[in-house]
Structures are given as structure tokens and as C-alpha cells.
Amino acid sequence: MSSVKVNILVHALIWSAFLVFLLLFIPFYDIQLLHKPLLFFGMFLFLVAYYYFNSLFLVPRLVGQKKVVEFIVLTLLLLALYLYLSDLSGWMHMPDKTSVERILPGRVPPPPFKPERLPGQEVRPPHNPEFFPFKLSTGTVLSFLLVFMVSSGTRIIGQWLESERLKNKAEQEKSEAELSALKSQINPHFLFNTLNNIYHMSLEQSKETPETILKLANLMRFVLTETQQNQIPLAKEIEVINQYLFLQKLRLTNKTQVIFSTAGDMTTRHISPLLLLPFVENAFKYGVGAHTATIIDLALKADKAGLVFLVKNSILADHSHLESTHTGLQNVRRRLQLIYPNQHKLEIIKQENWFKVLLTIKWDQ
């Protein structure tokens, strides 16, 4: 069954229940249903029409556009019209003596209280000023207020829920667009570094240049295909890191030592593509020197709780003044906030001779 049909069915059931509720109170009100059934259903249909007029027109057109004064004026006018019609028809008015005798024989209300008149004292009738040109009934007012509150409340709550849904959808689309933009910032940076390595190898006429180009082609295929996915197996991310390390080692001297160790479950866990590589790129960018002995130490561990990735690189003297929040790390920090909110911890530590990045990610339970 479609949502429209379900909505119509729910409204029909609610109005039927409201109609039964009114019918149960017929013995207490002189509405003459047995003699004028059209009168009863006419007033009932007035409430139904007001419900949808208020819900579909007044609330969205006036309250939704901050026209509160116009909304109040129109509501009061409709209330006055409803009270006037109720007075003409006797809708929900308390029964008089004749009506009570007809509905409940033998149950006539007692005569009104009359105070004793003392000698020489004039008894004045009570002053009952009429502020309205028609008789007010508690049942009439309460029935209108009930329909008013339900129609206004359901519409306002529905508009708020729809607004929150659109707001969340807009935030999600914004996050997805921002993630896509961040990936496009990471990928060219990664490819530029790799192409720069191949350029230096070609200048040296290295025999390993063809193999290096093949490795680059594999990486470009990964960038064009795998990065379109939200999650990839952790093993593929490790494969990318190994290929990157292979390309970097081709131009390194024996003064730079590269260590990459993994431990734990690398096959069943998934991660956002190219999330770990920027930390490795950053280590090579600022931790490699041609004439200075340096170490780049990478350690990756994954278990049932989450992932821990530690990147350590030596600090060179000519790079000691650089800030730790480079562009690549800023991008990946933002990606972590979008993909793993409240599920990650990123620590960037600068010591005397070491620059450390420690990333902890908790898996979704």
C-alpha cells in the first residue's frame, strides 16, 4: 500500500473515532440529532473543513511566513463564525428543562436559588452582561480548540521534521562534495610526487624506469577506480603504500632507512581510500635528506577494536622550522572529521629529533 493511501486511511480512522466520541456525548447535549441529523453532521463537517484549511493553508502560508497577526485574526474570525453557527443550531449547548425531561424522564433540574426577601429590602436580579451576540458553550469552544491545536501542532511538527530532513540531506551532500574535493586535492599531489621521481630516474637513464612507469600506471588505475568508492579493503590501501614505497626507494640513497610493518587483520577490515598515504607522503617530504642519515618508520596494526597507524620520521636541520600542519595533513584531518566523527584520534607530535603522527580509528560496532 502506498504512503498516500496509508495517510488517507489514518485520517479516515481518526475522524471516525472523533465522530464516535461526539456521538457518545449526544445524551448530554441538546443537539436534536434524532430530529435533525443533517444539522449534526453539518457542524461536524465544519470542523473537518477547518482542520484541513488550517493545516494546509493558514499554518504554512501565514505562520510559515511569519504572518502571525494575520493568522490570529483569521483564526478568531473562524472561531466567531463557528460559535455563531453553533448558537443558531444549538450545537453542544447544555440542555434546558424540557430537553432533560425528554432525554432522562424524571430528572428535571431543581429550580434556581432565590434569596429570601427581607422587609424593606429590594432584591435585584443578578447582572449578566452579554459580551457576545450569541450564547457561549464550553463544549463548542473546546471542540474548536481541540481541532485547532491538533491541526496546527501536526502541521508545525511536520514542517519542522521536513526542515530537519532537508537540512541533514544538505549537510550530507555538502560533506560528500567536500570529501570529493579533498580527494581531488590529494590525488594530484600524490601523482606529482611520483612523476617527479620518474623524471629524476629518466635523467639518470635508470634501467628501472619502465618498471617504475608500470607501477605508476597501476597506481593511476587505483586512483581512477578505487577512490570513487567510500570504503576499500585495508589490504588495498597497504598495497598502495607498498607501491609508493617502492617508487620512493628508487631515488633514495643508503642513508635513508625505510621500515614498514603490519600486524593484525588486514583482509576483512575496510577503510576510506587514500586515507593513510598522505601521512607517508609527508614523512618522505620532510624526513629525507641526500647527505644525512634518516629513518622513516611506519607501523600499522588492525584488530577488532580499530586501527592504529604510527608514522615516524627524522627531522632534518633545514626542516626544523616547518610547521607540522602541512597542507596534506590538513586535508586528511578534515577527511577524518567527515568520515569518522567521534571515532578517531589524530596526534601530531614534534620531538627534538623525531616527527610522529599517531592515528587511531575505532571501527563501527
The answer to whether residue 39 is domain-embedded is yes
Structural domain contains residue 150? no
Nearest-CA neighbor of 55 among 188, 136, 197, 156? 156
In a domain, 130, yes or no: no
Q: How many domains does the chain have?
A: 2
Query: Does residue 72 sit within a domain?
Result: yes
Last residue of a domain, one of 59, 75, 106: 106
Residue 183 lies in domain: 175-362
Give me the CATH number covering residue 357.
3.30.565.10
Q: Which residues pair with 290 in a beta bridge?
A: none
Residue 243 to residue 229: CA distance in whole angstroms:
20
> How much is the pLDDT for 317?
66
Asked whether residue 229 falls in the same domain as residue 337, the answer is yes
- 79 falls within a domain: yes
- Asked if residue 166 belongs to a domain, the reply is no
Q: State the pLDDT at residue 113.
A: 52
Q: Helix or strand or coil: residue 50?
A: helix
State whether 305 and 181 are in the same domain. Answer: yes
Q: What angle do CA 252, 256, 257 make, to 5 degrees?
A: 115
Asked if 237 and 335 sit in the same domain, the reply is yes
Q: Distance between CA 14 and CA 24 in Å, rounded? A: 16
Q: What is the CA radius of gyration of the chain?
A: 40
Whether the CB-CB separation of 50 and 147 falls below 8 Å is answered with: yes
- The residue whose grid cell reads 607540522 is 324
pLDDT tens-digit profile, the chain (365 residues): 677 788 888 888 888 888 887 777 655 455 455 456 677 778 888 889 999 999 888 988 888 778 889 999 999 999 888 888 877 776 665 555 444 445 445 544 555 555 555 565 555 555 444 545 555 667 778 888 988 999 899 888 888 888 888 778 767 766 665 566 555 555 565 577 668 878 877 888 888 888 888 888 887 787 777 777 888 899 999 998 998 888 788 777 788 899 999 999 888 899 988 889 889 988 888 888 777 888 999 999 999 899 999 999 988 766 555 554 455 578 788 888 888 888 999 999 888 788 899 999 998 86
Last residue of a domain, one of 106, 124, 148: 106
Residue 134 lies in a domain: no
Burial classification of residue 96, based on how many CB atoms lie within 10 Å of its CB (0-12 exposed, 13-18 middle, 19 or more buried)? exposed
Give Cβ neighbours of residue 345 (< 8 Å, ≥ 6 apart): 358, 359, 360
Predicted confidence at residue 324, as pLDDT, reads 45
Torsion, CA 209, CA 210, CA 214, CA 216, rounded to 10: 30
Given 87, 106, 125, the domain boundary residue is 106
Q: pTM here?
A: 0.53
Are 243 and 342 in the same domain?
Answer: yes
Residue 160 belongs to a domain: no
